[in-house]
Amino acid sequence: MAQSLQAKKRAKQNTKSRTTNRARKSRIKTQIKHFETAISEDNVEAASEQYKLVVKKLDKTASTSTMHKKTAARKKSRLAKKLNALKAKKS
């Protein structure tokens, strides 16, 4: 357990930031799952709409220190590849 006031404050800050980071990451995972279900149902319109929402959440999370910008870019790229494959299959 933390003894000094500074260590106690840091422990408190760490728990607060951990909960916010977990919530942000959980929201992203949930949004990606919605995108994946739209892809599996072969619904191009719903998938592209979900893709926009996922990108918005990823960019918002990457702007904070929760996720690195390149990690978000990598996830967006992989999701865009899936969306483009679905569009190519449909046309």
Report residue 90's pLDDT band, with 50, 70 and 90 as the boundaries: confident
State yes or no: pLDDT of 63 exceeds 90: yes
CATH architecture of 5-90: Up-down Bundle (1.20)
Q: Is 68 helix (H, G, I), strand (E, B) or coil?
A: coil
Specify the pTM. Answer: 0.89
- Say what percent of the chain tops pLDDT 90: 95
Structure tokens at 52: 């926009």
Per domain, the residue ranges of the chain are 5-90
State pLDDT tens for residues 7-50.
999 999 999 999 999 999 999 999 999 999 999 999 999 999 99
- Distance, CA of 58 to CA of 42 (rounded, Å): 23
